[in-house]
Structure formats: C-alpha cells, structure tokens
C-alpha cells in the first residue's frame, strides 16, 4: 500500500553516558509529541526482547562471556533485525524516539580498544537518525547520580573512556545538551529542537543512511 512520504515521522536518537538522563528525556519527549497530537514511539537499543537481544542482555549482566568483536556484531544485528520495522513506522508517520543507537555501539566498543572504522562498518546502511541529542555529563557527575547498577560497563574508569570516544564520534549536527541543567530545562531544549526536526521531516526531508 502507498505510503505518503511527505508525512513521515522523525527518527530522533538520544545518546550519552550511563545515568546522563537519556531514558527520562526519551520518555518525556514521547509524551510531549503525543500531547501535540503526533504519533510517537519510544524505542531502545539493545532491544532485549529478541533472541539476539537476550544474548546481549546476558552478556551485559555478566551471565555470559563473549569476545568483544562478537558482542559488537550482536548489537549491530539487533539493529538490523529492527531496520525494516523502523522504516515502516517512520514512513507511516510515526516518530521514533530511540534511547541509544549506533553511536553507543562505536563509543563503547572503541572504548574497549577495537578499531574505530571496524566498529562503524556493520552499521553502514542502517537508517540514519534525523537528529542526535547528546546529553553531556562528566563521567564523575554521572557516577554520583544514585550510583551505577551492576552491569558490565557501569564503571567510572570505563565510562571515562566512553566519554572520550563519544567526543571523537560527535559531529556538528549533534545537539549537545548540558545534562546537569534542571530536568525541565533539558526537556524544553529537547522539545524545541525535536519539533523543528519533525517539521523538516514533514516538509519532505528524505531519510538517509549511516554513515552520512
Ligand atoms: P542500557 O540498556 O542500560 O542503555 O545499557 N551498547 C549499547 C553497546 O555497547 N552497543 C550498542 O550498540 C548499544 C545500543 C551501552 C546498554 C549498554 O550497552 C552498550 C550500554
């Protein structure tokens, strides 16, 4: 059936260190867009509900061990298995607010020492987000926020390396938001830039692919 590409939804990704506030802001953004009458869904990667996602989940919770390259490819496969439904949703007019995407992948895996370009390669051809919102917080401040959980990557020393890798990855199109501002102020900034992004998508901005 015909899809009206003029009315597609926006693909908006939130990135940042653990405890930077991505999940709260994603949830708030979906409510905000819905409140304005837009169709919007909250997605997150890894999507732990699939078979691949369950392998990732048990790795993250230290229930299984995997080679760094192997788990990298699993994270990527976890996005590839959702790619066609992402495209369908967006083209049907639903905006997707996504808590972590390929940028987490490259930042976390290159923080482990894997080659930067090797890390990017399996993401080529996935849908590129229309907007990346980066919640910027110093690793020390993030660690102070109610502490980390018990998952594999939730350690200050490692988060410092991830922060450095995010810096390499960051490009001028990203909207960097100071994550230590009051939550309402962050929401305001997130809403403003997201609404503008959605407007561009509605006006006919084409979906593009990574890494463009
Ligand atoms: P949370 O579910 O708590 O956000 O933790 N990660 C994530 C990767 O290494 N590669 C990826 O592609 C993605 C999406 C970031 C998930 C952890 O997994 C890392 C933190």
103 touches 22 (CB < 8 A): no
Q: What is the mean pLDDT of residues 74-97?
A: 98
Distance CA 31, CA 62 (A): 34
Atom of ligand 1 nearest to the CA of 153: 20
DSSP state of 5: G
Q: Give first-to-last CA distance, the chain, whole Å.
A: 29
Q: Per-residue pLDDT tens for 105-144?
A: 999 999 999 999 999 999 999 999 999 999 999 999 999 9
Domains, the chain, ordered by start: 5-205 (3.40.50.300)
- For the question of whether the overall pTM of this predicted structure is more than 0.90, the answer is yes
Going from the Cα of 163 to the center of ligand 1, the distance in angstroms, rounded, reads 14
Q: What is the ipTM of this complex?
A: 0.98
Residues with CB under 6 A from ligand 1: 45-46, 60, 75, 100, 104-105, 108-109, 153
Span from the CA of 12 to the centroid of ligand 1 (angstroms):
17
> What are the pLDDT digits (tens) for 20-68?
999 999 999 999 999 999 999 999 999 999 999 999 999 999 999 999 9
The pLDDT of residue 3 is 47
Ligand 1 centroid to residue 78 C-alpha, Å: 11
Output the DSSP codes for 38-88: --EEEEESS-TTSHHHHHHHHHHTTSS---HHHHHHHHHHHHHHHHHHHHH
């Amino acid at each position: 059936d015909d899809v009206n590409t003029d009315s597609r939804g926006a693909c908006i990704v939130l990135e940042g260190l653990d405890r930077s506030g991505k999940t709260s802001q994603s949830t708030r953004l979906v409510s905000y867009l819905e409140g304005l009458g837009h169709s919007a869904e909250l997605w997150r990667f890894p999507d732990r509900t699939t078979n691949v996602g369950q392998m990732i989940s048990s790795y993250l919770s230290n229930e299984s061990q995997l080679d760094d390259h192997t788990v990298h490819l699993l994270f990527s496969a976890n996005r590839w298995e959702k790619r066609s439904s992402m495209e369908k949703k967006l083209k049907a007019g639903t905006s997707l607010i996504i808590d972590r995407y390929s940028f987490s992948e490259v930042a976390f895996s290159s923080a482990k020492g894997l080659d930067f370009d090797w890390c990017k390669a399996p993401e080529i051809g996935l849908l590129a987000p229309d907007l990346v919102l980066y919640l910027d917080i110093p690793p020390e401040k993030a660690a102070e926020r109610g502490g980390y959980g018990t998952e594999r990557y939730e350690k200050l020393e490692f988060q410092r390396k991830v922060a450095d890798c995010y810096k390499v990855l960051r490009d001028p199109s990203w909207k960097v938001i100071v994550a230590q501002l009051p939550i309402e102020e962050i929401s305001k900034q997130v809403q403003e830039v997201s609404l503008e992004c959605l407007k561009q998508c509605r006006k006919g901005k084409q979906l593009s692919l990574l890494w463009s």
